[in-house]
Amino acid sequence: SLSAVSHSGKCSRVMVIGGDGYCGWATALHLSKQGYEVAIVDSLVRRLFDEQLGTHTLTPIASLQKRVKRWRDLSGKSLSVYVGDICDFEFLESSLRAFAPDAVVHFGEQRSAPYSMIDRGRAIFTQHNNVIGTLNVLFAIKEFAAECHLVKLGTMGEYGTPNIDIEEGFITINHNGRSDTLPYPKQASSFYHLSKVHDSHNIAFTCKAWGLRATDLNQGVVYGVMTPETQLHEELINRLDYDAIFGTALNRFCVQAAIGHPLTVYGKGGQTRGYLDIRDTVRCVELAIANPPNLGEFRVFNQFTEQFSVNELAKLVIGAGKKLGIEVEAANVPNPRVEAEEHYYNAKHTKLVELGLEPHFLSDALLDSLLNVAIKYLDRVDRALIMPDVSWKKVGVKPRTVMS
Ligand code: NAD
Ligand code: USQ
- Give pLDDT tens digits for 12-24: 999 999 999 999 9
Q: What is the dihedral of CA 82, 88, 90, 93, to 10 degrees?
A: 60
pLDDT band per the 50, 70, 90 thresholds, residue 309:
very high
For the segment 217-226, the average pLDDT, to the nearest whole number, is 98
Closest ligand 1 atom to Cα of 111: 34
Phi, psi of 83, rounded to the nearest 5 degrees:
-95, 115
Q: How many CB atoms lie within 10 A of CB 321?
A: 23
What residue owns the CA closest to ligand 1's atom 17?
A: 85
Query: Taking CB atoms and a 6 Å cutoff, what residues make up the pocket around ligand 1?
Result: 18, 20-24, 42-46, 85-87, 107-111, 129, 133, 153, 155, 219, 221-222, 248
For the segment 264-268, the average pLDDT, to the nearest whole number, is 98
* Rounded CA separation 404/325 (Å): 34
Element (H, E) at 88: none
- Assess whether the C-beta atom of 273 lies below 6 angstroms from ligand 2: yes
pLDDT band per the 50, 70, 90 thresholds, residue 401:
confident
CB 213 within 8 A of CB 297: yes
pTM above 0.95, yes or no: yes
pLDDT greater than 60 at residue 30: yes
For residue 69, the CA-to-ligand 2 centroid distance in Å is 33
pLDDT band per the 50, 70, 90 thresholds, residue 81:
very high
- Assess whether the C-beta atom of 221 lies below 6 angstroms from ligand 2: yes
pLDDT value for 1:
33
CB 162 within 8 A of CB 227: no
For residue 308, the CA-to-ligand 2 centroid distance in Å is 12
What residue owns the CA closest to ligand 2's atom 10?
A: 266
For the segment 333-354, the average pLDDT, to the nearest whole number, is 98
**DSSP assignment letter at 368:** H
Helix%, strand%, coil% for the chain, nearest 5 = 40, 20, 40
pLDDT value for 314:
98
pLDDT greater than 80 at residue 350: yes
CB 348 within 8 A of CB 235: no
At 271 the three-state DSSP class reads: coil
For the segment 299-312, the average pLDDT, to the nearest whole number, is 98
- Per-residue pLDDT reduced to its tens digit, 113-171: 999 999 999 999 999 999 999 999 999 999 999 999 999 999 999 999 999 999 999 99
For the segment 77-103, the average pLDDT, to the nearest whole number, is 98
* Rounded CA separation 284/356 (Å): 9
pLDDT value for 367:
93
pLDDT value for 10:
75
pLDDT band per the 50, 70, 90 thresholds, residue 404:
low
Hey, what amino acid is at 276? L
Nearest to 188 by CA among 151, 150, 218, 152: 218
Hey, what amino acid is at 349? H
pLDDT value for 100:
98
Q: How many residues does the chain have?
A: 404
pLDDT value for 174:
98
Distances, alpha carbon 295 to alpha carbons 200, 365, 404, in Å: 17, 42, 50
For the segment 41-51, the average pLDDT, to the nearest whole number, is 98
* Rounded CA separation 314/312 (Å): 5
pLDDT value for 11:
86
- What is the residue-averaged pLDDT of the chain? 96
According to DSSP, the β-strands at 306-309 and 149-155 are: unpaired
Higher-confidence position of 271 and 1: 271
CA 17 to chain centre: 12
Q: What value, to the nearest 5°, has the Cα angle with vertex 241 and ends 60 and 353? A: 110
Nearest to 328 by CA among 316, 340, 346: 316
For residue 179, the CA-to-ligand 1 centroid distance in Å is 37
Q: What is the DSSP string of 25-73?
A: HHHHHHHHHTT-EEEEEE--HHHHHHHHHT--BSS-PPPHHHHHHHHHH
pLDDT band per the 50, 70, 90 thresholds, residue 403:
low
In terms of Cβ atoms closer than 10 Å to its own Cβ (0-12, 13-18, 19+), residue 215 is buried
